[in-house]
Amino acid sequence: MRLFPRLLLNHLAVMAVLSLVMLVAAELAAHPFIQHHVNQMVQLLGDAGTAMRGDLNAGMRATLTRALLSALPPALLVAAVTAWVAARRVTASVRTLQAGSAALARGEYRRRLPEGGQDELADLAHSFNTMASTLATVEQSRVELIGNVAHELRAPVAAVRGYVEAAQDGVMAHDQALGAIQRELAGLERLAGDLSLVSRVEAGQVELTLQDVPVAALLAQVQDRYALAFEEKGVAFHVDAAAGLHVEADPARAAQILANLLSNALRHTAPGGEVRVCAQEEEMGVRLLVHDTGTGIAPEHLHRVFERFFRADTARTRGEGSGVGLTVARGLTRAMGGELTVTSTSGVGSVFEVRLPVGGKNPSGDFIEA
């Protein structure tokens, strides 16, 4: 049986039971009331009233019963209409929700339900619309991800094909072609690793080994790793960290966060520019700041810099990173109980700020290369 007749029958059954209970209750409650009035009439009539006691009692009970039975049909009719309206309202809302769910199942993520009212059905419609909006966002992200991955794969695959054809045609020596192909394959491996890491970061499945990390040693590690790259590009690189600062973090992942931020700063800072890394203590932790004098980020793009594959310059050439470095950096920071934010001015530069929880005073001193 479908929902509407079930609801209607349930309402009618409740009304029928209620009417029966009311009849029985009225008959039981009326007995002392009738007896009281019969006694009063007997006293007024004297001996004649005593002889008429039985008739008076029976007549009043019969009158009450007829009145109740006369009122019962219109009451049941009103109850039936009310039950029909209530059942229709509920089933109409259910049919609307059913149609919306079927639309979502077909991939129509823009479908929305009316949210009129302030009852549970309105709350259900609001929850449905929130779910549909979330699914639409996820679907859009999925489409963009597929497009971005295809874009990232297209160039190295085309380059490998070109090297192979050049070697086959004798335009390029085999050893030279093999070296170029190996470089392209290494880039593909890095991309695959980055994609795997960003998926694990977003799913919260990155394994962390939190320990006390001295900030000065952490910055010294990344300085040693990147000093040559900055020197070759002609960008000044300065690191400043006060002694005695400690954070609670995974040393390898903390170094990876800074490495991603420094790679980003180096990529967007022209020769003659400057990149500075400093550490500052605050009440509940430590701030690691990466300043650069690069191109900066336009205000309309600032809120999207941590999205996967987002690039303010859509004409970016290959070799400028996989597009997930900042996404990974923010995910790792949050996984360690911190936060990564950015402030920037177009044409002036950017400041990426990593906040990490403060650590103790017993560092292990062991670091793992990111």
Q: What is the CATH number of the domain that holds 153?
A: 1.10.287.130
Q: Which long-range contacts (CB under 8 A, 24 or more apart) does 327-331 make?
A: 327/198, 327/201, 327/202, 328/194, 328/197, 328/198, 328/201, 328/256, 328/260, 329/256, 329/257, 329/260, 329/261, 329/354, 330/306, 331/198, 331/201, 331/202, 331/206
Residue 365 covered by a domain: no
Whole-number Å distance between alpha carbons of 7 and 362: 69
pLDDT the model gives residue 363: 45
Both 100 and 144 in a single domain?
no
pLDDT the model gives residue 42: 65
pLDDT the model gives residue 186: 85
pLDDT the model gives residue 320: 53
Angle between helical axes of 251-268 and 215-233 (0-180°, round to 10): 30
Residue 364 covered by a domain: no
Helix (H) or strand (E) holding 229: helix 215-233
Both 231 and 296 in a single domain?
yes
Helix (H) or strand (E) holding 237: strand 236-241
pLDDT the model gives residue 338: 92
Both 186 and 243 in a single domain?
no
Confidence (pTM): 0.59
Whole-number Å distance between alpha carbons of 87 and 78: 14
Residue range of the domain that includes 55: 3-108
Q: How far is CA 98 from CA 92, 121, 130, 354, in A?
A: 10, 13, 16, 46
Q: From 318, 242, 314, select the one nearest 281 (Cα to Cα).
A: 242
- Token output for 144: 């963009």
Residue 168 covered by a domain: yes
Both 41 and 97 in a single domain?
yes
Count of domains for the chain: 3
Residue at a domain's end among 202, 234, 268: 202
Q: Are strands 274-282 and 246-249 parallel, antiparallel or unpaired?
A: unpaired
pLDDT the model gives residue 169: 87
Both 239 and 346 in a single domain?
yes
- Token output for 284: 């509940």
State which residues of the chain have pLDDT below 50: 315-319, 361-370
Residue at a domain's end among 167, 202, 237: 202
Residue 277 covered by a domain: yes
Residue 26 covered by a domain: yes
